[in-house]
């Protein structure tokens, strides 16, 4: 099970309307800036690292926050 979670984390891709998700994340975490959440195609890992640093959370926690936010926007 752990390997499946690690594989999912390594292959993380943003789904849905990212602009809408950014608004939700910034509402929940006001310390996040537009620059923290800037997402260039294929550079999800860089964005994750910025958010990890800003929120003092590990990669898996940040991915879980984003996925929860994606689910709430569906």
Q: What's the start-to-end Cα distance of the chain, in Å?
A: 26
Distance, in Å, from the CA atom of 40 to the CA atom of 16, rounded to the nearest integer, reads: 15
Given CATH 1.10.1470, say whether it is the number of domain 2-73: yes
The residue length of the chain stands at 74
Q: Kindly report the pTM of this predicted structure.
A: 0.80
The domain ranges of the chain are 2-73
Tens-digit pLDDT string for the chain (74 aa): 444 444 444 568 888 899 999 999 999 999 999 999 999 988 999 999 999 999 999 999 999 999 998 877 65
């Amino acid at each position: 099970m752990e390997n499946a979670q690690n594989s999912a984390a390594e292959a993380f891709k943003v789904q849905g309307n990212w602009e809408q998700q950014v608004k939700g994340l910034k509402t929940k975490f006001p310390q996040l800036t537009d620059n923290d959440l800037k997402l260039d195609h294929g550079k999800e890992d860089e964005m994750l690292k910025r958010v990890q640093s800003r929120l003092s959370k590990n990669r898996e926690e940040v991915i879980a926050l984003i996925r929860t936010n994606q689910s709430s926007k569906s």
